[in-house]
Structure formats: C-alpha cells, structure tokens
Amino acid sequence: MSNLDLINKTILFVRGKLANAEGGHDWFHIQRVYKNALLIAGEENCDETVVKLGALLHDIADSKFHDGDETVGPKIAREFLESEGVSEDIITYVIQIIDNISFKGGNNEKHFSSLELDIVQDADRLDAIGAIGIARAFNYGGFKNRSMYDPQIAPKLNMTKEEYKSSQAPTINHFYEKLLLLKDKMNTQTGKQIAQKRHDYMQGFLSQFYAEWDGEQ
C-alpha cells in the first residue's frame, strides 16, 4: 500500500472514531494538529509518515473518557496499524509518540524522545494556545461547569498529576497553570516562533479581560 493510501485510510479511521467526541478533542482538533505538524515537519529532517500517523492518532482514545485508562488509545492505534499491514518499527515509533505526547500537569518525566515526538507534541501544544487555545479552554471549563474567573482563587503551580486532573479551579487559572507555560516548553524552532505569537495574543486577551472585569474600556 502506498503511503498516501495509508494516510488517507488513517484519516477516515480517525474521523469515524471521533465522530461524537467532545469539542476540545474532536476531528477538527486532530485536523489542526495535523496541519501544525506538517508545517513544522517541513522545516525538519524527519520521518513524515511517522509524524502524520502520530498527529492523526494521538488522541484516538483520551484517557479522560476511559476512566483514566491510558492504554486504550495506544491499543486501538496499534490494532488499526497492524490491520493495515504497517511495519512493526513504524508502529512502535507511532505508539511511543501517543504514549508520551501528553504529560499532564507538566511534572512527569518524558520516557522516550524522538524528533517526530517533538514535532507532534509541539503541534498539539500550539492548538492549546492562541485564539483556539482560549476557545478550547472556555469550552472545557463550560463542559466542566467551572466559573470563568474568581479573583479569590489563586492559580496553583506545580500540581501533581492527580491534583491537575481533579482541579475545580476557574478557567482563567488554567492560563497560569498551563497555557502561558507552553511557550517555553516548545521543542522545535518553528514551534517556538508560532508559540511566541500565540502567547502574546493570550497575554493581550488577559489584559483586556481584566480591564473589562474592572469596568474599564
């Protein structure tokens, strides 16, 4: 099977699986991450097939929606890739990306590193910041019934994975707990440049938010 066929089949598979996914992790998230990943990959000497498969399959089964089970996504991805006759070394690479892409709360060690993981991770992080990042954060906060902002509740840095998962804090806190920290965690040059632009946009948003909160223009 040609690479193009494999990628097209993967796109169809992922679209089907995510047909009823919630807003932050739906097919459009995957599509944006895929585009970000291609943009970054164009600047790097990497294995593009691995990057594409990693980007497409990285959220195939979010543990949040499987009782915290982090093995479901990699298992589904492996079964799909095996059924398509993809070679074991490519499968291993892609699964390592899915396993390592998200380190919740930022305090967990990365167990594996590769340029392709760096690229997909940057691509995923870019979708958490900027205008889309702001929209996703408030969408998530609404889904979880969180308040937008409460000046009495300070952001909490250095949370453990468990604290991060069970946090009930207002959505604005998430900017300080995660979103504004992402710019300095970017792996690639291209990722860093785009992140800086999106970071500045979020800072502008926050200034305006507080101004309006205080009854200013």
Residues that bind ligand ADP (CB under 6 A): 24, 102, 124, 128, 133, 136-137, 140-141, 167, 171, 174, 179
Rounded to a whole number of angstroms, the minimum distance from the CB of residue 47 to ligand ADP is 22
User: Which stretch, 41-49, 122-130, 159-167, 191-199, contacts Ni ion (CB under 5 A)?
Assistant: 122-130
User: Which stretch, 58-66, 106-114, 134-142, 185-193, contacts Ni ion (CB under 5 A)?
Assistant: 58-66
- Using CB under 5 A as the binding rule, whether residue 124 contacts Ni ion is answered as yes
Rounded to a whole number of angstroms, the minimum distance from the CB of residue 126 to ligand ADP is 11
- Using CB under 5 A as the binding rule, whether residue 59 contacts Ni ion is answered as yes
Rounded to a whole number of angstroms, the minimum distance from the CB of residue 34 to Ni ion is 10
| Sign for the pseudo-dihedral over CA of 203, 205, 206, 210 | positive
Which residues fall within 8 angstroms of residue 126, CB to CB, at 6 or more apart? 33, 36, 191, 194, 195, 198
Q: Quick one: what does residue 133 bind among ligand ADP, Ni ion, none, with the CB cut-off 5 to 8 Å set by partner type?
A: ligand ADP
Q: How wide is the angle at C-alpha 29 spanned by C-alphas 132 and 177, nearest 5°?
A: 55
Task: Tell me how far apart the alpha carbons of residues 127 and 129 are, in angstroms, rounded to a whole number.
Answer: 6
Beta-carbon neighbour count of residue 39 at 10 Å? 16
Phi-psi region of 215 (alpha: psi -120 to 50; beta: other; left: phi over 0): left
Rounded to a whole number of angstroms, the minimum distance from the CB of residue 4 to ligand ADP is 27
Q: Quick one: what does residue 174 bind among ligand ADP, Ni ion, none, with the CB cut-off 5 to 8 Å set by partner type?
A: ligand ADP
Residues in the chain: 217
Q: Quick one: what does residue 61 bind among ligand ADP, Ni ion, none, with the CB cut-off 5 to 8 Å set by partner type?
A: none
Alpha helices (H) in the chain, listed in sequence order: 3-17, 27-41, 48-57, 72-83, 88-100, 115-126, 130-143, 161-166, 171-177, 189-213
Residues that bind Ni ion (CB under 5 A): 59, 124
